[in-house]
Amino acid sequence: MRGGNGTAGAVLRAGAELGARVRAARPWVLDLGLTLLVQLAVTMPFVLPREPGLPPVTWEAYALTTAGVVPLAWRRRWPVAVLTAHLVTGTLYQQLLDGPGQPLPYAGLIAFYTVAVQCPARVRAAVSVVALAVLLYAVGQNTGTARELFFAVFCAGAAYALGRLQFTRHAYTAAVEDRAAQLERANRIEAEQAAARERARIAREMHDILSHAVSIMIVQAEAGPVAVRRAPERAEAAFDAISETGRDAMVQLRRMLGVLREEGPALREPQPGVAGLPALVERVRGGGPDVGYEQRGAVRDLPASVDTTAYRIVQEALTNVVKHAGATRVEVALEYGERELRITVADDGRGPSGAGSGGHGLVGIRERAAAHGGTAVMGPGGPLGGYEVRACLVLSPLEVGS
């Protein structure tokens, strides 16, 4: 049994390989093979013994029969001409020679099938009318019976129907392949857009991390020598702030690089969120402006994406205060609404240079807010009379219920 199963499996595999090779072959190779097969079929009545009393076969009859088969090799290129050649040779054969008949007009059926597959509707209609007229004439010249006429019309109609089914199958396959190609292009474009969005996101994260850390460290380092001369205890706090800021920046950079390398542990580390704002405010406050932090409304847990975005907006706003504003007082406020989270960072300084357009940081704040369906407005004014950043992050119904 095992040996039989193995043999059957080998036969099936061989058949599948042969079918794949046939499908992959060039069309002219298939047509040539089909022509040889039909020629073999029409040759059989010439080589098999004939009944007594029938005239012997002749080379003229065999040559005329072959002349109606050979054009099949060009059936794809000239389908109407091939069918016409077969009809002409068949009529001449019936009128001039008394050779052996054929069980079926193999070449004619294949030619008619090819016309149904490849030709437009007008050509198919004209060819069908001509073929029907020739068919009626041939039946009338042969037996003239309704049985023969019905059989001939049935065979021709079956060939035509198979041709149209094959045309429909080709059209469906082409449509499926075109749809698959369109989906592949759409997926590729979507993947490229996703990669571009991810690059932009990573660029914003890197900018926020490095810009904030370096700005705080520069401010603390510049204040250090003055503090050493005037208030040594503040100098120690400034150096501690520099160290803590540097370590925090290194941790966040390692996390970001771990994500880029697709390292498992790095992917599981949480991003900074609203819970980290008190520590952020404390770092900015040490050796810098006096920073106040307040939360209003029904304080609750936020979705991870909103949580991180809120932290980054406050971080970037404080970075701009340290770098450009020359402020002595900053107020940070988070207001929890039913459908939104409002963020306000106001100072009493002069604001960043070129505040109308803003730098990469202010652009990043607008992009982060827009990513959550919100807005970001910044400019001079505010409760402290200096510069103010106001951002609103919209919470979706699913996020509100989470």
Whole-number pLDDT of residue 236: 65
Highest mean pLDDT among 204-213, 223-232, 269-278, 364-373: 364-373
297 Cβ contact partners less than 8 Å away, ≥ 6 residues apart: 335, 336, 337
Burial of 242 (0-12, 13-18, 19+ CB in 10 A): buried
pLDDT digits (tens, 9 = 90+) for 310-324: 998 998 888 888 877
Whole-number pLDDT of residue 138: 80
Query: Distance of CA 17 to CAs 13, 96, 99, 298, Å?
Result: 6, 47, 41, 70
Confidence label for 51 from pLDDT (cuts 50, 70 and 90): confident
Residue 164 φ then ψ, to 5°: -70, -35
Confidence label for 267 from pLDDT (cuts 50, 70 and 90): very low
Query: Distance of CA 48 to CAs 42, 45, 51, 202, 384, Å?
Result: 11, 5, 10, 82, 112
- The answer, yes or no, to whether residue 52 has pLDDT greater than 70, is yes
pLDDT digits (tens, 9 = 90+) for 166-225: 999 989 988 998 898 898 888 888 888 887 877 777 777 777 777 667 776 776 676 666
Taking all residues of the chain, what is their mean pLDDT, rounded to a whole number? 79
Whole-number pLDDT of residue 339: 87
Whole-number pLDDT of residue 331: 92
Domain spans of the chain, in order of start:
21-144, 188-401
Write out the two tokens for 328: 């002595």
Q: Which residue has the tokens 């002219």?
A: 28
Q: How long, in residues, is the chain?
A: 402
What percent of the chain has a predicted confidence (pLDDT) above 70?
A: 76
Query: What count of Cα atoms within 13 Å lies in the side-chain half-sphere of residue 191?
Result: 6
Whole-number pLDDT of residue 224: 65
Q: Which residue has the tokens 């005329």?
A: 64
Q: What is the DSSP letter of 337?
A: -
Range of lowest pLDDT (61-65, 183-187, 308-312, 354-358): 354-358
Residue 257 φ then ψ, to 5°: -65, -35
Whole-number pLDDT of residue 187: 86
**Using an 8 Å Cβ cutoff, are 133 and 125 in contact?**
no
pLDDT digits (tens, 9 = 90+) for 214-264: 776 776 676 666 656 666 666 666 667 677 777 777 776 766 666 666 554
Which has more confidence, 314 or 381? Answer: 314
Whole-number pLDDT of residue 355: 42
- The answer, yes or no, to whether residue 18 has pLDDT greater than 80, is no
**Using an 8 Å Cβ cutoff, are 366 and 376 in contact?**
yes
The model's pTM: 0.48
Helix (H) or strand (E) holding 402: none
Please name every residue paired with 391 in a beta bridge, in sequence order, or none if there are none.
343, 376
Confidence label for 20 from pLDDT (cuts 50, 70 and 90): low
Burial of 82 (0-12, 13-18, 19+ CB in 10 A): buried
Q: What is the three-class DSSP state of 107?
A: helix
**Using an 8 Å Cβ cutoff, are 67 and 89 in contact?**
yes
Whole-number pLDDT of residue 264: 46
pLDDT digits (tens, 9 = 90+) for 24-48: 557 888 888 888 998 898 888 888 8
pLDDT digits (tens, 9 = 90+) for 69-102: 899 889 888 999 988 888 888 888 877 776 677 7
**Angle at the Cα of 282 from the Cα atoms of 278 and 288, rounded to 5 degrees:** 145
**Using an 8 Å Cβ cutoff, are 219 and 240 in contact?**
no
Which has more confidence, 159 or 6? Answer: 159
CATH architecture of 188-401: 2-Layer Sandwich (3.30)
pLDDT digits (tens, 9 = 90+) for 134-163: 888 887 777 778 888 888 889 888 989 998
- The answer, yes or no, to whether residue 280 has pLDDT greater than 70, is yes
Whole-number pLDDT of residue 356: 43
Q: What is the mean pLDDT of residues 259-276?
A: 63
**Angle at the Cα of 383 from the Cα atoms of 377 and 386, rounded to 5 degrees:** 70
